[in-house]
Amino acid sequence: MHFRKLSEYFDKIENVSSRLEMTSILAELFKETPGEEIARVIYFSQGQLAPPYKSIEIGMGEKFVEDAIAKGSGYTKKEVHEKFKQIGDLGNVAEEFLKKKKQESLFSTELTIGKIFENLLKIAKTSGSGSQGLKTKLLAELLNNASPVEARYIVRIPLGKLRLGVGDPTIMDAFAINLSEEAKSNKKLVAEVEKQLKEKNEEKRKQELDRKIRVRVREIIEDKYNIHSDLGVIAETLITKGLKGLEKIHIKPGIPIRPTLAERLPSSKEIIKKLGKCGVEAKYDGFRLAVHKNEKEVTIFSRRQENVTEMFPELIEAVRTQIKAKGAIFEGEALAFNEETKEYYPFQITIQRKRKYGIKEMAEEFPLTLFCFDLLYVDGENLMPLPFKERREKLKSIIGRGKRIALTDSIVTDDPKKVDEYFNENIESGLEGIIAKDLNAPYIAGARKFSWIKLKRSYKGELSDTVDTVIIGFFKGKGHRTQFGLGALLTAVYDEKDGMFRSIAKIGTGMKEDDLKELHKILSKISEDNKPKNVDSEIKPDFWVSPKYVVEAIADEITKSPIHTAGRGKGKEGFALRFPRMVKLRQDKTPEQATTVLEIEKMFKNQKNVKLSE
């Protein structure tokens, strides 16, 4: 497939505003893409070269991309830089300069997707001294042969600013459209769906059937994606082997599983009402890690599914010596524990372990303990469908003696008073609260369905839990804050219904000067002039940013709001956080793992009967 074709599709996607239109353009693109190229098409459409867990970063700074544009177009570096200052998007600069290209190359070859991939991969893999020159050369070579539209995207991929707004849900929706026909020939699936139909009118009934089949297909795709986090592989299977082909994809150590998420309820009474007799565990505040063991090979993934193996040498060692299974996938929370005083260090200490340099020294000074809470796979057996109590038993049985790997502390009870006591004990020992677990639930990858319910520390008169919001924009600082370039954040919550981020709060307090500087630094790299496609907000910040960073916020309460869009519906106002304050940046969460609109609705209803456990 030629990259020119793909760029034309990208251009179409960039020019539509609704998610529905975007989905049908993607569906068309996927129909046209051959199986052997679909994985790359998927990665490119999200500005990547591989699934996120492979952690391949192209990492080219603006300066070097400017050089490559100059080389590839025949303009001077100064001209490129001036134009960039004027229009603010290097992709558009490349496009414009290639339209009036001064230096015609002698043999302009058609660029294939394969060629683009090859050069970008080389760019990603080149490092060390002198590497920037080579990176620039590889990018310039592509630009030299590119048409103007192709150039726009070739430049944006290494900068990590594709601006298409294609998220995983949209890709899965597009496949669901394409595979619905195949599903209609699956008698069992159709019979299952027909049972749920409510319409009597024949025409409408047919439409309802079509829609429900599409929803079911979407679920089948997502269920597989949840246990095999590589949309490229899923897509290739769908194109070459159809929906049935997915049955052959199984969980495998080394490929991350999407984490289950916790629901929240306002009190221990409600938790017991919901779950009955349940497991109640200490809620540790550290890094959630998924450990994959395959013989001697150990891989660790963060909650965002980045490969963080290198960061935790002491845990790798402990997995090799303490885990009594050849193959295993298990999860836990890692935090620094003071052996002398037998106390947990505060999160500020643990977070220092998130680093690229000085890992060994820090691992010696503040070694982590991994408190394990779930086992998903052991020696060839998928444990996810088993009830939690059985998984925990097996987990216990594979942890051998040693210091660094332990089981989470827990009790089993159906008494709210016991839950409260246990909660208070945990708070006193410096932990965050508790997580109650349904003893009979399977492991539900990638979703929250009341199999886990958290109860965090509550503050008098404030929300009984923090809210994880997603940054969608920021405001320049005023007065004293002018010097930091950032004075407040515009934040949103995630709407699972349609993958949109809807505004809920403007946060201007809770940040120290260093936070303001750090936020400005990371946000200005991803700021945009126009509202990103997956953002819904009527408040216009000075700069938009594409939803990427999660900020934990505390607030006095949730109120109705005429200006925010979270939870807004026909004749229904949205929700806002009243007096929101930033607690911390949650680098461990993806925007889709932030608080959802539905959770906010539930919290709003619940807050009236919040009983603070103090």
Instruction: Specify binding-site residues.
Output: 281, 288, 303, 333, 373, 448, 454
Contact 573, 562 (CB under 8 A): yes
Span from 83-91, 283-291, 474-482, 508-516 in contact with ligand AMP (CB under 6 A): 283-291
State how far the Cα of 7 lies from the Cα of 312, in Å rounded to an integer. Answer: 40
Which is the catalytic residue, given 283, 437, 456, 506?
283
Contact 90, 66 (CB under 8 A): yes
Span from 6-14, 272-280, 281-289, 351-359 in contact with ligand AMP (CB under 6 A): 281-289
Shortest distance (Å) from residue 271 CB to ligand AMP:
14
Is residue 288 near ligand AMP by the rule CB under 6 A? Answer: yes
Shortest distance (Å) from residue 368 CB to ligand AMP:
13
Is residue 408 near ligand AMP by the rule CB under 6 A? Answer: yes
Nearest to 319, CA basis, from 336, 351, 294? 294
Shortest distance (Å) from residue 552 CB to ligand AMP:
8
Is residue 353 near ligand AMP by the rule CB under 6 A? Answer: no
Contact 506, 535 (CB under 8 A): no
Element (H, E) at 318: helix 313-322
Cα→Cα distances 584→186, 483, 515, 581, Å = 49, 21, 9, 9
Distance of CA 596 to the CA centre of its chain: 13
283 included as an active-site residue:
yes
Is residue 306 near ligand AMP by the rule CB under 6 A? Answer: no
Span from 157-165, 207-215, 224-232, 276-284 in contact with ligand AMP (CB under 6 A): 276-284
Span from 126-134, 187-195, 275-283, 469-477 in contact with ligand AMP (CB under 6 A): 275-283
Please say which residue, 101 or 258, places its beta carbon nearer to ligand AMP.
Answer: 258
- In sequence order, the 6+-apart residues with CB closer than 8 A to the CB of 534 are 19, 165, 167, 499, 500, 501, 546, 547
Q: Which residues pair with 264 in a beta bridge?
A: 454
- Which residues belong to the annotated binding site for ATP? 281, 288, 303, 333, 373, 448, 454
Is residue 284 near ligand AMP by the rule CB under 6 A? Answer: yes
Is residue 230 near ligand AMP by the rule CB under 6 A? Answer: no
Torsions phi, psi of 379, nearest 5? 40, 60
State how far the Cα of 294 lies from the Cα of 296, in Å rounded to an integer. Answer: 6
Which residue, judged by CB position, is nearest to ligand AMP in the bound state? 288
Nearest to 375, CA basis, from 260, 493, 273? 260
Give the pair of three-digit tokens for residue 64: 């070097």
Is residue 454 near ligand AMP by the rule CB under 6 A? Answer: yes
1, 134, 262, 610: residue in contact with ligand AMP (rule CB under 6 A): 262
Is residue 420 near ligand AMP by the rule CB under 6 A? Answer: no
Is residue 481 near ligand AMP by the rule CB under 6 A? Answer: no
- Concatenated DSSP letters for 561-573? ESS--TT-BTTB-
* Encoded amino acid at 545, one letter: V
Shortest distance (Å) from residue 264 CB to ligand AMP:
8
Nearest to 2, CA basis, from 121, 117, 79? 117
Please say which residue, 190 or 262, places its beta carbon nearer to ligand AMP.
Answer: 262
Is residue 511 near ligand AMP by the rule CB under 6 A? Answer: no
Is residue 281 near ligand AMP by the rule CB under 6 A? Answer: yes
Q: Which residues pair with 407 in a beta bridge?
A: 372
Shortest distance (Å) from residue 346 CB to ligand AMP:
15
Task: Enumerate the active-site residues.
Answer: 283
Interface positions with ligand AMP (CB under 6 A): 262, 281-284, 288, 303, 333, 373, 408, 435, 454
